[in-house]
Structure 1
């Protein structure tokens, strides 16, 4: 995480009276989109709060929820360096094929940056997709985080290098085209792509989500 709070492009601590507010003051506040009764709850953490997302569901209709910030070019890094991350807690029985911690854009169109946790082992990964070439570049952690403990996750892109850090240790890397650019008109989302089917619902506890661009 950036050491200087002033460098955050957006940050959500989920504390205080406005749980979904962007605490940087840049105005990228979140709003929920939900279906089938999807909702978040809160639990106490470190003197503040963290968000609890719906538990795994195997029989439709399943509850779904995502938190979205309005579309803005300020959250498009283009070719610039970008760092983004979150604190997560996920139990072994809360893993699925894919769970979105955060994302902006889609891999099949318009470019993307994304942090996700995949598979039964709960291995986090960072994904970048260019706005001209729909090739998925992923830095996948060699260790899982589905142990019902808190972990900090961070993605770092600098030039042609993409890295994923788990608890401040680099656990995976990928090589990118140096001119890869992420720029799209899709809202920034946390906890899922949206409220539709196959939304890659996050199903654990989430706290301190942030992005730093430049």
Structure 2
């Protein structure tokens, strides 16, 4: 057998995550007769590493709508802008144009929990509040870090971005690419929610 189009076998991180979630690891098979028992250690390590990557690096992937309602529709629309399949899947894997604030919130929650376990945070905060009330320490409000600019990441995903999308007209197309990602993402979520509601009502 010969692979005619290697790109046709590409999968997004979302598709791999969905497949592994729907297919949990099978229990180790029992040894039967003289057949050698299959060693699943490497397979389990791959699953663990992928799960760690999803949880700690790209947690927004777990919130993606099903691939059949999102990826199936957004990739052809991205092709209309002249993007290759690899570039389109790169946009999806990085979540460009999509909400990714869950990762920052998760990290903040973990820091808060760690301070609580170590007995830190509450005592220091009370001391600072008391000092501030006494006029000894000025109260400073922490500025919330801004979301990374998706426009900057596009040059890492789309080859020769400036040459393929030059000038003001090209910039308009670049913004349309990000808007297309958001539109199909929201539409896929709405479709999935509607389908679940119809199923429950039946």
TM-score class, shorter-chain normalisation, is under 0.3
Q: Write 1 or 2 for the structure with the bigger share of helix.
A: 2
**Larger of the two Rg values belongs to structure:** 2
TM-score, normalised via structure 1 length: 0.22
- What TM-score, normalized by structure 2, do the two folds share? 0.23
The structure in which a higher percent of residues are strand is: 1
